[in-house]
Chains A and B, each alone.
Chain A
């Protein structure tokens, strides 16, 4: 009788921990998806911002057609991108095209003094930051999730229910703010 009760308690404990591990995994996977959605929102925000920016700048920069075309083309490619790899590549291209455009803008002080352009520029700076922070958050969440998928005991449940490893999202931007060369 006592043996049966002990067995019953053990089984219940096992089932409970099983359920907890499973729920944790699902929760983490949702966090990863949520973080990805956030990147997507911010990338869309950038896509929406670009036509306005280009329209405002065009009035002042009559002789920079190539620069604008590069930006517009990169934007439409980024919108059409489907796979993770495509998105990463096209967004990198868009970032560098935008950076080139903003460098050219520095030669047009009148444009830089334009109130409308200034607020658009602030929005662009903020959007770039948001993209990099949402990417940072996504990669953190992916790391957290992948650790769970590979570590004991959650890896058993992950294998059983096909929780697959996720890959982190990297956009390589030539002039991105990475580790410093100067120590402060």
Chain B
């Protein structure tokens, strides 16, 4: 562990010096063009001052600011006992001195991030949507990933790097705006001087490019750290399948992050802005498919060396350095083999904790008589875009018992077993998904073209039609069991 931190520190120092150089150069240009001749160095001081103010604010109130930006609230033990327990378990596995505080965001899109300057003040934040779709083993994987960020001091790095990035963006904006409003600043007066005009063009180029370069520097390292955190996470849980399934569920989720904060997007386990990211925007995260693929290949042991080998095989290009894990971490021996899934993990259940999903209502604005605007409850969003929402739980294959059967006339029919989200297989075998608000009596299968009759859920339903004795009993028992559980 300690070797990892040391190796990370060296890289971080290199990155920060590069970014700091960019910052100082920007300051120099500002001073050179907007301040009278002999006071040019005040520009550099100004740049350092902006950075110092930002870093001071972050160091004093960093966590609070980030938590507020993300609209995170402390998670109560009563409502989220599993979350608290899993965090404590991972703290023990990671050998951290203190257990990080846990926070939740009321948000249906599954996601998570960690923040805090050092392991003592670290916080782990998850969305309620994440808790809804993940089983205990999968949640362990995600929390272990966040715990690894804390353990590898990634959180500290990210905080400092984003402050640096922020100040560079502010300064380059200031410079360019100043140029536009002052019509070229001092350079006009110096237009005779050839050298100054070359410098002027250079400075414009520099201030345009510096945020881009800083971004590239920042994200090139932050991407590697995601892989590293994955590798450390599976070392803690010894169960790569859990994190893999969690990443699958996160990337397949159809809920979009309602109010993603772009400045925070690189903190999350998966990019919350992925849905709305433009073509030339920077990717803050490595492709999630690649991460899943690597985890899938970890079938026997979870040593760092194995992870590195698989990474080089899957993502490496010949002749390119593909080291994501410092080689000092490979000096480990002992038994670190993969463990078996828990009992809960073996039960296929698309939404293990539906109580954490929010059924939000849209509000509409309506003008009242005196011209006062007031908000009224609108329609449930699920019924508006039910086509989209029905695909949750997405891509989870329904279990053998839930499938459409043929009635006495040979027409396919499906009996709903709950009022909630449901997946079932059509007679042709393709997976179908029903949302709680799906109230229609039929569903058209695009794969085989048959019209499946949907019989709504009713606890006292008559099973005499379309089912033989055995199936009837099985369904009845299942429903009774579910009813008791509820």
Contact = CB atoms under 8 A, between A and B. Distances in A.
A173 to B, nearest CB: 12
A165 interface: no
A129 B339 CA distance: 12
Interface string B108-146: 000000000000000000000000000010000000000
A67 to B, nearest CB: 19
B275 interface: no
B485 A113 contact: yes
B238 A136 contact: yes
Contacts of B316: none
B446 interface: no
B82 A133 contact: no
Contacts of A141: 95
Contacts of A35: 95
A139 B334 contact: yes
B440 interface: no
B82 A109 contact: no
A125 B93 contact: no
Nearest to A109: B484
B340 A178 contact: yes
15 contacts: A31-B95, A35-B95, A38-B92, A110-B484, A113-B484, A126-B82, A126-B86, A133-B89, A133-B236, A139-B334, A177-B340, A178-B340, A179-B338, A179-B340, A180-B341
A178 B136 CA distance: 18
A126 B338 contact: no
Q: Which 4 A-B pairs have the closest CB atoms?
A: A126-B85, A133-B93, A177-B340, A177-B339
B89 A109 contact: no
Nearest to B93: A133
Contacts of A110: 484
A31 B454 CA distance: 61
Nearest to A113: B484
A119 B339 CA distance: 25
B241 interface: yes
Interface string A116-151: 000100110110011001101101110100000000
Q: Name the residue in A109, A136, A139 with the highest tally of chain B Cβ atoms < 10 Å from its Cβ.
A: A136
Contacts of B93: 133, 136-137
Nearest to B344: A125
Contact of B89 (A129, A143, A178): A129
Contacts of B136: 125
Contact of B485 (A112, A137, A140, A178): A112
B300 A179 contact: yes
A183 interface: yes
A180 B340 contact: yes
B360 interface: no
Interface string A85-123: 000000000000000000000000110110000010011
Contacts of B81: 119, 122-123
Interface residues of B, number: 28
Interface in B57-106: 81-82, 85-86, 88-90, 92-93, 95
Q: Name the residue in B85, B92, B93, B236 with the highest tally of chain A Cβ atoms < 10 Å from its Cβ.
A: B92
Contact of A130 (B92, B296, B485): B92
Contacts of A134: 92
A184 B241 contact: yes
B299 interface: yes
A133 B339 contact: no
Nearest to A142: B334
Given A109-B484, A113-B484, A177-B339, A140 B334 contact: yes
A180 B339 contact: yes
B481 interface: yes
B302 to A, nearest CB: 11
Contact of A183 (B85, B238, B299, B337): B299
A112 B342 CA distance: 18
B92 A133 contact: yes
Interface in B226-274: 236, 238, 241
A109 B334 contact: no
A94 B299 CA distance: 31
Contact of A137 (B92, B241, B341): B92
Contacts of B484: 109-110, 112-113
B333 interface: yes
Contacts of A123: 81, 85
A179 to B, nearest CB: 5
A109 B338 CA distance: 33
Contacts of B333: 143
A31 B2 CA distance: 14
A108 to B, nearest CB: 11
B334 A122 contact: no
B103 to A, nearest CB: 19
Nearest to B81: A122
B334 A143 contact: yes
A136 B239 CA distance: 13
A25 to B, nearest CB: 15
B428 to A, nearest CB: 27
A109 to B, nearest CB: 5
Given A125-B85, A130-B92, 19 more contacts: A35-B95, A109-B481, A122-B81, A123-B85, A126-B85, A130-B88, A130-B89, A134-B92, A139-B334, A143-B334, A177-B340, A177-B341, A178-B340, A179-B300, A179-B337, A180-B338, A180-B339, A183-B299, A184-B241
A109 B236 CA distance: 34
A137 B89 contact: no
A68 B481 CA distance: 25
A96 to B, nearest CB: 15
A35 B341 CA distance: 25
A80 to B, nearest CB: 25
